[in-house]
């Protein structure tokens, strides 16, 4: 599961996910605290500032419209319990004045690698892009309702339309070329229309 700070800062949600054995990479605020490198609880932004340059690794979070989304990342292992690991994932931008983002993670120890966790964190961008596309193309946020049922129906139909558009878009040029050929076939005049036949008999 990947989500923003609203969900990552919710300790009850994290506890429920762990009880269900559902892995997560959740964004958190910079004032969240972690016991590292000793038993003292420190803010996660203070922890990130103390890390040496060798602790960071440049990894692509996902592909964007302008290419790979490259950031410096580091992984700080917290504690392990029942084959599952807890810890902190930190993202640093590669600009001259870098900005940081912080994530709690919970994952099977065997899968809690930097590359795997970065990949999960990167899924948030794709989800946000889908929501923005659904708002622009299908009117996902264009509703005025008074009851939950009306809202639910609108959202369901908008997401269904968004799913159909996503499938058609995924088919790409092959679908476009097929549609173009079909359209031309429907609009093209018959090889020998009745009017042409009458003219030929004259």
- The reported pLDDT for the residue numbered 69 is 86
- The reported pLDDT for the residue numbered 193 is 44
Q: What is the pLDDT of residues 23-60, one digit of tens each?
A: 999 999 999 998 887 778 899 999 999 999 899 999 99
- The reported pLDDT for the residue numbered 109 is 94
- The reported pLDDT for the residue numbered 73 is 96
Mean pLDDT, residues 140-156 taken together:
88
Closest Cα to residue 94, out of 39, 133, 56, 62? 56
End-to-end CA separation in angstroms for the chain: 75
Output the DSSP codes for 90-139.
EEE--SSS--EEEEEEEEEGGG--HHHHHHHHHHHHHHHHHHHHHHHHH-
Arithmetic mean of pLDDT over the chain: 84
77 pLDDT exceeds 60?
Answer: yes
Calpha distance 173→39 (Å, rounded): 57
Q: What is the pLDDT of residues 161-192, one digit of tens each?
A: 988 988 888 888 555 555 565 565 565 444 44
Output the DSSP codes for 14-80.
HHHHHHTT--EEEEE-TT-EEE-SSSSEEEHHHHHHT--GGG-EEEEEEEETTEEEEEEEEEEEEEE
DSSP tag of 89: E
- The reported pLDDT for the residue numbered 7 is 92
Mean pLDDT, residues 124-130 taken together:
79
Of the two residues 101 and 173, the one the predictor is more confident about is 101
Share of the chain above pLDDT 90, in %: 49
Q: Are 126 and 64 in contact (CB under 8 A)?
A: no
Share of the chain above pLDDT 70, in %: 84
């Amino acid at each position: 599961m990947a989500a923003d700070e609203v969900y990552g800062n919710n300790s009850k949600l994290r506890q429920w996910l762990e009880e269900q054995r559902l892995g997560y990479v959740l964004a958190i605020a910079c004032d969240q605290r972690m016991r590292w490198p000793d038993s003292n609880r420190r803010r996660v932004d203070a922890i990130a500032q103390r890390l040496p340059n060798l602790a960071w690794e440049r990894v692509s979070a996902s592909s964007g419209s302008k290419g790979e989304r490259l950031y410096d990342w580091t992984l700080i292992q917290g504690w392990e319990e029942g084959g599952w690991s807890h810890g902190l994932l930190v993202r640093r931008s590669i600009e001259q004045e870098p900005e940081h983002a912080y994530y709690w993670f919970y994952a099977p120890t065997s899968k809690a690698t930097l590359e795997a966790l970065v990949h999960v964190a990167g899924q948030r961008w794709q989800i946000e892009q889908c929501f923005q596309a659904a708002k622009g193309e299908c009117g996902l946020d264009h509703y005025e309702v008074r009851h939950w049922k009306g809202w639910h129906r609108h959202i369901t139909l908008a997401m269904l339309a968004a799913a159909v558009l996503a499938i058609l878009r995924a088919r790409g040029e092959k679908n476009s070329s097929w549609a173009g050929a079909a359209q031309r076939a429907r609009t093209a005049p018959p090889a020998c229309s009745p009017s042409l036949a009458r003219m030929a008999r004259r």
